[in-house]
Amino acid sequence: MDAVINGVLEGRPNTDLMYLGSPAVAYPITRAAHEDSIARLTTVPFWHKVTGSVLGPYCRNVEDPIRAESINENAEDQSKDIFMFNGIMTVQGPNYLLAKTLQHWRAVLARELKHARVSVNMAPSCATDSVMHVAAVARGVRGMRAFPPLNYFEPNTAKSIMAYLMIYDMCSDVSAANPKIPLKNPMEIFASLGCHAGLWRAPYTAESISKTAYLMDLFNLV
């Protein structure tokens, strides 16, 4: 797929690209989401500590920001703090991670080097057939609602939202998809309009709460 996209851009430089970004990789998020995730750690209920000691440990969702050596001086945001989110899920395996990372890297190269308009918004967790047909995974997806603000979307809802975001990216001159809009770091394109279903703002990583989420659904506690 990456070779196809690169070939199309070489032959038709005016091509616009549209991706559904995968949240299950590492990428920057907004300052607001980062700060909200940290704040939620101070208000978690007591049962989180109990279940975390037995089924955890629950891992903090975000780490301290990375300090960039340099940023685009034309960008509106001149802070050198880059707020990274690690959404990598071991269960999805290395092939998935590599494929999605290549996809994201192609989006960055297309926007920054070939000046193509690129829509690459993070899609939410969805109750698709490919996810929910595995009973254990389905329970984990449903059970994560026990850890607000985590949630999942029905496929039709997610499709509608992501379609609207793509249309906005293709039509709006002020969208981050427009290569004429300066970003302080090329990777910031992934933080622009993510429909993250709570992943960015949750206090814990999705992977570290997976056992508890499974049990919460198994015993109908959510």
pLDDT tens, 137-146? 899 999 999 9
pLDDT at residue 33 tops 80: yes
Per-residue model confidence as pLDDT tens digits over 50-79: 999 999 899 999 999 999 988 999 898 899
Confidence band of 130 (pLDDT split at 50, 70, 90): confident
Arithmetic mean of pLDDT over the chain: 93
pLDDT of 131: 83
Confidence band of 91 (pLDDT split at 50, 70, 90): confident
With 0-12 / 13-18 / 19 or more C-beta atoms within 10 angstroms meaning exposed / middle / buried, residue 149 is middle
pLDDT at residue 1 tops 80: no
